Amino acid sequence: MTYARDERSALCDLFDRLGPDAPTLCTGWTTYDLAAHLALRERRPDAMGGIALKPLAGYTASVQNGLKAKHPFPELVGLVREPGGVYGLLPFLDDAVNTLEFFVHHEDVRRAQPSWEPRELSDDLERLIWKRVAGGARLMLRKAPVGVVLHRLGGGVALGGPRGGARVEVTGRAAELLMFCFGRQRHTRVELTGDPEDVERLRGASLGV
């Protein structure tokens, strides 16, 4: 098993436990919507463009809703459980692309439920997450209104946001910094240090890939 497969399996198990109507951190989406998004992402490449490009978002939304109409929730979860499309054919690509994708969406479901707590992750997974965060900080934080200094507990620093002017320091474990950089700022266990106004602007900013 790879970390991508582990997170995929854990997310699908959580889908099965919670059912189709549970909340997620993805604005306006239930677990049914998120499962449809993940199935679309791997099995409907013709509709993937709207995930990132607003002019194509309408078509993507219609395909996603069509998947919900066609597949009962347990069936849709079954489609997500097994890598589809190119990811099913090339396990190394699944690991490279989907480890963070499924980790973040697993947390999107976990952290939308009452009384969530951070998971204890293996040292290897923490290091892998930090490597991806450090390498992608500039991209994920490109819309930050202030400079950002990420401090990983256990060692490591990465920079993002504007290169000059005010800065906010964000300190936490690698997984928490990942969720912060993916736009889930208000659902992370991190410490923010800086001017209070700058801190609040960063908390409310649209971050992520």
Number of domains in the chain: 2
pLDDT tens column, 118-147? 999 999 999 999 999 999 999 999 999 999
Residues 100 and 127 in one domain: no
Residues 99 and 137 in one domain: no
Residues (pLDDT < 50) of the chain are: none
Q: Are 47 and 63 in contact (CB under 8 A)?
A: yes
- Domain housing 61: 3-110
Residues 96 and 167 in one domain: no
pLDDT score of 20: 98
Contacting residues for 201 by C-beta, under 8 A, at least 6 apart: 145, 146
pLDDT score of 86: 79
Residues 98 and 127 in one domain: no
Q: Are 176 and 187 in contact (CB under 8 A)?
A: no
Residues 104 and 59 in one domain: yes
Q: 116 lies in a domain?
A: no
Sheet with 191-193, side-by-side order of all strands:
157-160, 147-152, 167-172, 191-193
Q: 184 lies in a domain?
A: yes
Residues 52 and 84 in one domain: yes
Which of 75, 110, 145 represents a domain boundary (last residue)?
110
Helix runs in 54-195, H state only: 57-70, 73-81, 85-89, 91-110, 123-140, 174-181
What CA dihedral angle connects 69, 71, 11 and 85, to 10 degrees?
A: -110
Which of 89, 110, 131 represents a domain boundary (last residue)?
110
Closest alpha carbon to 194 in 162, 152, 147: 147
Q: 117 lies in a domain?
A: no
pLDDT score of 93: 84
